[in-house]
C-alpha cells in the first residue's frame, strides 16, 4: 500500500499497523528518509541499535551474498523480542532491485519469519523499480515516498530541535534562518544543532534577527547580492562597482545574472504575497529578506509591479542563455543586464 499524505505517514510512523511486516521509505532527500526510518525503527523494536534484535544490511551485502537477505528475514531474535531487518539500499542495479523486491514480497506474505519487520531505506526509486512496485502492491507492506521539505516543515524542524535545548527564535528570526538553510534535511539539521550551540543550550534565549547576525555572517556572494539590489534600486554606478568587485573575488558573469534573477524572484514572491492580502513588510520577511536590507527592499517593492518583473524576467533569461554560450563575454553581458534593470528602475523614480 502507498502512504503519500503527510497525516497518514505521521500516523503510521507513530503507531505502525500490526498487520504490516515491511516498509519501504524512499526519496531524493536522504535526510528525510533517514529521519522517518529512525522514527519507525524506534516503534518497531525497543532497542533499534541492539545487534541481537536488529540486522543492518546494505546493497553491497546483497551483491556479495544473494541469499543473506532472506536468511536474515527468516531468522529469529536471539533475545526473544521482535526482530528488525534494516536494508539501506542505494544501488541502481536492476538485479539487486529485483532481489530486494522478491524478498519483500515473500516476507509480506508471511513466508519467512512473520514476526520480523523489514525496513528499507532507498533513494529516488522510479516507477519501473521492482522494489517500489512490490511495496506498493502488497497489503502487508507500506511504501512511503519522501519529498523535499516545504518551508513549513523546515520551520517545524527548527522549532522542535531548538526546544530540546531550551532555546528559540522569534518569528522574524525563524523566517530569516529558514530562508538561509540548505534544502537537504541532514545538512539542515547540522546547521540547526550548530545554532543551538551558538545560542547556548539551556539558556532559555529567544533570539531575534540581530542575535543571528554574527551566526549567519555575510551572505554568500555578498558583492553580487549588493550589486543586484543596487541595480533594482536604480543605482547603476554602485551596481557596476559591485559586479566588478565580485569578478575580482572570482564570481563570473553567470553568477551575477543568477543573483539578479534571485533578487527579481524575491520581489515577485513579495508582491504576490502582498497581492494575496499580506502586509508588504510581512511578505518581505516571508521571502527571506535579511532585516538589514529590509528598508531598501521595501522601497523597491513599492515601485516595481508584477507586470514590470514579468517583462524583466525575459531579459534575465536571455542574459543567462547568452552567458552559457562558448566564448561569450559573460561579464559584459551581466553589466548590460544591470544597466537595463537600473535604467528601468530610474524611470520608475527609484
Domain ranges in the chain are 6-146, 151-216, 222-347
Q: What is the mean pLDDT of residues 101-121?
A: 91
Lowest average pLDDT, out of 26-35, 109-118, 328-337, goes to 26-35
Q: Under CATH, which architecture does the 151-216 domain have?
A: Orthogonal Bundle (1.10)
Given a cut of 90, whether residue 117 has pLDDT beyond it is yes
User: Using an 8 Å Cβ cutoff, are 83 and 115 in contact?
Assistant: yes
Q: Please state the CATH superfamily assignment of the domain spanning residues 6-146 in this structure.
A: P-loop containing nucleotide triphosphate hydrolases (3.40.50.300)
Any idea which fold 222-347 has? Zinc Finger, Delta Prime; domain 3 (1.20.272)
Confidence of residue 216 (pLDDT cuts 50, 70, 90): confident
Q: What is the percent of the chain where pLDDT is above 70?
A: 94
The predicted pLDDT at position 220 comes to 43
pLDDT, position 167: 93
Cell for 281? 513588510
222, three cell numbers: 555578498
User: Does residue 78 register a pLDDT over 80?
Assistant: no
Quote the percentage of the chain above a pLDDT of 90: 32
Residue 115 clears pLDDT 90, i.e. is over it: no
Average pLDDT over residues 120-130: 88
Per-residue pLDDT band for 165 (boundaries 50, 70, 90) equals very high
What mean pLDDT do residues 258-271 have?
Answer: 90
Alpha helices in the chain (DSSP H): 6-14, 30-44, 59-64, 68-74, 94-108, 130-137, 151-164, 171-180, 185-199, 213-216, 222-232, 236-248, 253-275, 280-286, 294-301, 306-323, 330-347
Q: How far apart are CA 334 and CA 194, in angstroms?
A: 36
CA–CA distances in Å: residue 265 to residues 17, 256, 270, 282, 284: 44, 14, 9, 16, 11
Q: Residue 234: which pLDDT band, with cuts at 50, 70 and 90?
A: very high
What mean pLDDT is reported for the chain?
A: 86
Residue pLDDT, tens place only, 168-179: 999 888 887 887
pTM over 0.75: no
- pLDDT band, very low/low/confident/very high, at 221 (cuts 50, 70, 90): low
Task: State yes or no: pLDDT of 271 exceeds 80.
Answer: yes
Cα–Cα nearest to 62, from 74, 70, 54: 70
State the pLDDT at residue 194. Answer: 87
Nearest to 22 by CA among 143, 146, 145, 147: 143
Amino acid at each position: 500500500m502507498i502512504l503519500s499524505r503527510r497525516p497518514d505517514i505521521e500516523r503510521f510512523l507513530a503507531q505502525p499497523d500490526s498487520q504490516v511486516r515491511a516498509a519501504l521509505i524512499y526519496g531524493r532527500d536522504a535526510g528525510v528518509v533517514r529521519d522517518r526510518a529512525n522514527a519507525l525503527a524506534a516503534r518497531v523494536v525497543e532497542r533499534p541499535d541492539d545487534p541481537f534484535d536488529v540486522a543492518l544490511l546494505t546493497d553491497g551485502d546483497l551483491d556479495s551474498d544473494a541469499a543473506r537477505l532472506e536468511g536474515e528475514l527468516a531468522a529469529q531474535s536471539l533475545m526473544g523480542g521482535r526482530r528488525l531487518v534494516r536494508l539501506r539500499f542505494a544501488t541502481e542495479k536492476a538485479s539487486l532491485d529485483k532481489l530486494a523486491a522478491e524478498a519483500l514480497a515473500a516476507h509480506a506474505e508471511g513466508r519467512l519469519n512473520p514476526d520480523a519487520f523489514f525496513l528499507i531505506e532507498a533513494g529516488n526509486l522510479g516507477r519501473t523499480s521492482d522494489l517500489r512496485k512490490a511495496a506498493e502492491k502488497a497489503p502487508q507492506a507500506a511504501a512511503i515516498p519522501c519529498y523535499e521539505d516545504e518551508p513549513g516543515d523546515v520551520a517545524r524542524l527548527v522549532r522542535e530541535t531548538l526546544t530540546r535545548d531550551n532555546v528559540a527564535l522569534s518569528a522574524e528570526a525563524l523566517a530569516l534562518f529558514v530562508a538561509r538553510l540548505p534544502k537537504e534535511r541532514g545538512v539542515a539539521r547540522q546547521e540547526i544543532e550548530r545554532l543551538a550551540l551558538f545560542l547556548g543550550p539551556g539558556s532559555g534565549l529567544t533570539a531575534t534577527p540581530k542575535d543571528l547576525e554574527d551566526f549567519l555572517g555575510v551572505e554568500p556572494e555578498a558583492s553580487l547580492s549588493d550589486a543586484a539590489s543596487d541595480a533594482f534600486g536604480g543605482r547603476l554606478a554602485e551596481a557596476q562597482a559591485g559586479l566588478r568587485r565580485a569578478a575580482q573575488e572570482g564570481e563570473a558573469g553567470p553568477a551575477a545574472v543568477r543573483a539578479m534573477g534571485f533578487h527579481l524572484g524575491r520581489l515577485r514572491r513579495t508582491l504576490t504575497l502582498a497581492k494575496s492580502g499580506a502586509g508588504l513588510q510581512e511578505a518581505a520577511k516571508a521571502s527571506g529578506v535579511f532585516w538589514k536590507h529590509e528598508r531598501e527592499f521595501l522601497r523597491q517593492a513599492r515601485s516595481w509591479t508584477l507586470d514590470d518583473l514579468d517583462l524583466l524576467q525575459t531579459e534575465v533569461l536571455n542574459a543567462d542563455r547568452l552567458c552559457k554560450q562558448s566564448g561569450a563575454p559573460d561579464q559584459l553581458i551581466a553589466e548590460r543586464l544591470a544597466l537595463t534593470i537600473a535604467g528601468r528602475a530610474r524611470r520608475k523614480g527609484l
